[in-house]
Amino acid sequence: MTDSQDHAEIAKFEAMAAEWWDPAGKFKPLHMMNPVRLGYVTDQIAAEFGRDLKSPRPFEGLRLLDIGCGGGLLSEPMARLGADVVGADAAPRNIKVASLHAAEVGLDIDYRNDTAEALLAQGESFDAVLAMEIVEHVADPAGFVQSCHDLLRPGGVLVMSTLNRNLRSYAAAIIGAEWVMRWLPKGTHEWSRFITPDELAQMMTQAGLHVADRRGMVFNPISWGWSLSERDLSVNYAMTGIRRAQEG
């Protein structure tokens, strides 16, 4: 079994763990992006499972894994929407922060210091897997996508987001976010590890997933906000894969 852990990448996020819930701290970009990526995730899951997002707990009865959960910025709203959430992260300090925050707000989330491969070895399975802003930090992206597929039940949904690899993404995510705006510590991202939409789609297809959707997540410096785009996947983007109900 492939081990997708990259210990140097884990150490970067361990060093920032205490700031996960500070909207003005080192994770400010994620806090700003979170409403848009949450909207994308919920729309994709609701569409696949025929759930009404206007109902109080639309994801009741669905088991969901948030892999690379960090401090729980997505795990918590998914739990509020009724999902049975497992949040997993390879960085122990992230799990401590996430567990403490969930307890403070009264949410029951099963947080674990585990990898996708470890959960697979434990025989875990899920209706939906979220792998947001993590695939560019693992040692073996294709192996990681395969593990995410294998963790899904037939008909299950994998939602991923990452950064495209081109000059515009280098300018926006590294020069802009790390050097100019100083939203993130220098060295948080390595441009060479960014993954193009075509590359990620190929990984999903090879893993046995049907690529159902892809959208850009675009930052507007005038409105100072994020939005989804069907055309502009040049920097941040999300992609949805479905594990086929019948395989083989």
Average pLDDT over the chain reads: 87
Does residue 37 have a known ligand-binding role? yes
CA–CA gap between residue 31 and residue 164 (Å, rounded): 20
Does residue 22 have a known ligand-binding role? no
User: Could you tell me the pLDDT band of residue 179, with boundaries at 50, 70 and 90?
Assistant: very low
CATH number for the domain whose boundaries are 7-243: 3.40.50.150
**pLDDT value for 56:** 94
Does residue 89 have a known ligand-binding role? yes
Cα angle 72, 76, 79; round to 5: 135
| Domain locations along the chain | 7-243
Does residue 132 have a known ligand-binding role? yes
Share of the chain above pLDDT 70, in %: 82
**pLDDT value for 26:** 74
For 182-223, the pLDDT digits (tens) are 555 555 666 567 899 999 999 999 999 999 999 999 988 888
**pLDDT value for 214:** 98
User: Could you tell me the pLDDT band of residue 240, with boundaries at 50, 70 and 90?
Assistant: very high
